[in-house]
Structure 1
């Protein structure tokens, strides 16, 4: 028993030392401004590109030194960018703000779908439409997946008391997902390095 307590205190103090250069994420956290080429750059709050950026309306422009001109930042070539307070992730050919940041971050993106209809002459003609889809970003591995009960419930099941609360909740199903995502993120905070 005594050995168990000593080991527990040792690991607890080790985590305490590891946190000297990290801070728990809070909504007031200031991210470094710039462009993240990868998820790991976001996770470490270390954007690769910090100079030559300009915001114009909803667009981010990046300066091309060789051409001496600003060009729109291509979402397909980067992971995302930071404005300091806001994080924008590249998804579905556009940048989408992380609405909730935590162990599982939430964002919404318009997903384009193409369907075909038969015109009066018997030819197929494509019809493009957009649907707003809710997504989650896993802070551990950077994977993105749709935010649905099917995908979120296994996350909530990892915490038995949270899962019991979730099952007993009597409100609207959509509302329930957002409430318990917030509760999960509060119980399992994430850390960012202090730069």
Structure 2
């Protein structure tokens, strides 16, 4: 009888440990902890190491070109009520969504084996001699592109036909074959990312 009791307690402890681990990572849950991820590992574990009141400061397209800076930056309010720029971090969560730092702060539109996000950038513009190089009305519009983040490795790829064939889809040979046979594949890159996520589970 004592052995049965000990066996029951052992199994209960294992079950409790497993259940405590399920739902902790960003892949398993949609209850993101609010704060700053210093590293990719903190992001994946849904465990930001910096918490506090966060503020995102946006820049105008003209300021981005003139200052050669990102569209926005992250700041945190310190104990004195002053805003301080957050430095050397991977990304952050506002408790609802997750943002990766990649030429500014970009929202992860999908979280799965491959996380999808749109990166915004300003195209270059020739200097305006009449204003000593400052750009005003001739500021070009922002351009946008998509990238994917491998949740297992942390690798980031531009969402292109080449990368889909070479790096993103090879782990699913059947889906890669379907992609290569699809004559409209260049217009369906996001679709195939989503389909890959539905068919595959990341491990690390």
TM-score normalised over the length of structure 2: 0.66
| Structure 1 counterpart of 2:154, from 142, 147, 151 | 142
Partner of 2:78: 64
Contact 2:36 2:48 in 1 (8 A): yes
Cα drift, residue 77 of structure 1: 2.6
**CA-to-partner distance for each residue in 1:139-186, whole Å, 9 max, x for gaps?**
122222211111122221221211122123344622x21111001111
Partner of 2:108: 98
> Using the alignment, how far apart are the partners of 1:88 and 1:191 within structure 2?
22
Residue 131 of structure 1: SS of its match in structure 2? strand
Partner of 1:131: 143
Partner of 1:4: none
Partner of 1:38: 39
Distance 1:60 1:150, change over 3 A: same
In angstroms, what is the RMSD of aligned CA positions? 3.5
Tell which deviates more after alignment, 136-145 or 124-133. 124-133
TM-score normalised over the length of structure 1: 0.69
Unaligned ranges ≥5, structure 1 = 1-15
**CA-to-partner distance for each residue in 1:26-60, whole Å, 9 max, x for gaps?**
6x62111111111111011110112x214578775
Unaligned ranges ≥5, structure 2 = 1-14, 59-72
Cα drift, residue 111 of structure 1: 2.2
Q: Which has the higher contact order (CA 8 A, sep 6+)?
A: 1
Contact 2:127 2:133 in 1 (8 A): yes
Distance 1:179 1:72, change over 3 A: farther
